[in-house]
Amino acid sequence: MGGNTLTELQRRNLRVGLFGPLQVFHLSFPSLRELCEYSDEELPTVKEVMAGSGGERADFASAESAKPGTTQTRSGDPDDGFGRFMQLAECLEMINRRGIHANVAEPSVVGSRPNVPAYVAGAPKNMYRMARPKEKKVVQVFLNLTYSENTKEAQVRNRGILALNLIRILESNDYIVDFRAFEAAVESKAIYLCGVTLKKPGEKLNPGRLYYPLCGYPLLRRTLSQFAESRPQVDPEMAGRKVSGEELQELLFLNRHWKIPVAKDIAGESPGGRTEKQRLFLGTPQSLGIQGDNIFRDADSFLRSLKLDGMIAVPNYETAEE
């Protein structure tokens, strides 16, 4: 492949190592802005989208608000892709709000107001105080942007809506969400992996900014293909190291879903001495039970496929919609 050495941008965003018998080339971007800087392209504007120049499936592409660094806007036209996206997302959010309970008061020895019945009865806990919030935990959500050619546009759109809705549900259940999207490919004896952080832990969710990456023509796939076709030379020391630590944990987690044929001892390896982070994997719309016909039915199938009942309070959308 290409004989040129790494550029400064590649060196900053590329990690190389060995994962069993396979060489790993992992392009990782901490934000959409850095991904666009690396790819030397911008997300499409409204005019480009309406002219059909936003990618192979232009009606998936974004409104102006999808550009990195811009603020979220809303379209009042439900026939516009982003407008319909937001309309369906808000339908789910209305059901979410019914299941979210504000902090409640609990009996206590000390508090901000008296518990009169308890005081009359002589109980020691004769005051009320606000219940203490639960300790927040971090959960990583990995979305594989790949989907097959026979996937309907509505399935991809609904997967994007439900991925963002999952983040809202997790955060309402006292989780801090680290949301990442990725594309992956295996060629010869190499794994090519391209990932981008769509939402950092503690960062506010911005549907307008994420609409195109979730529903549009995949920027990551283009970046991955371009890199694989013109792979630059890397330092032997960099290429010969074994993937380890947090990077190994992520690869082991993702490999369980990719089904990449690596050696059994590597596939079963577990980094010792560490507690594995909570991770969720979002695959193709079909694997998540998303049909694209009814957002409420898709939401129920999506959450059932992730088996979250023991982790969070899961709404029942189709029943609530009726």
pLDDT band at 89 (very low <50, low <70, confident <90, very high): very high
Confidence bin at 81 (pLDDT 50/70/90): confident
Domain hosting residue 151, numbered range: 8-97+139-321
Q: Is 125 part of a structural domain of the chain?
A: no
Q: Cβ of 76: how many Cβ atoms within 10 Å?
A: 8
> 59: buried, middle or exposed (CB in 10 Å: 19+, 13-18, 0-12)?
middle
Residue 111 resides in a domain: no
103 belongs to a structural domain: no
162, part of any domain: yes
Q: Is residue 88 part of a domain?
A: yes
Percentage of the chain beyond pLDDT 70 is 72
Residue 195 lies inside a defined structural domain of this protein: yes
Residue with the larger pLDDT of the pair 319 and 107: 319
**pLDDT, position 154:** 94
Which pLDDT band, with edges at 50, 70 and 90, does 36 fall under? confident
Q: What is the chain's mean pLDDT, rounded?
A: 76
Instruction: Examine the pLDDT at 195 and tell me if it is beyond 50.
Output: yes
pLDDT digits (tens, 9 = 90+) for 108-137: 766 667 777 766 777 777 776 655 556 678
- The C-alpha angle with vertex 31 and arms to 237 and 225, in degrees rounded to 5, equals 60
pLDDT band at 277 (very low <50, low <70, confident <90, very high): low
C-alpha atoms less than 13 angstroms from C-alpha of 2 in its C-beta half-sphere: 13
What is the total count of domains within the chain?
1
Is residue 155 included in any domain, yes or no?
yes
**Does residue 42 or residue 254 have the better pLDDT?**
254
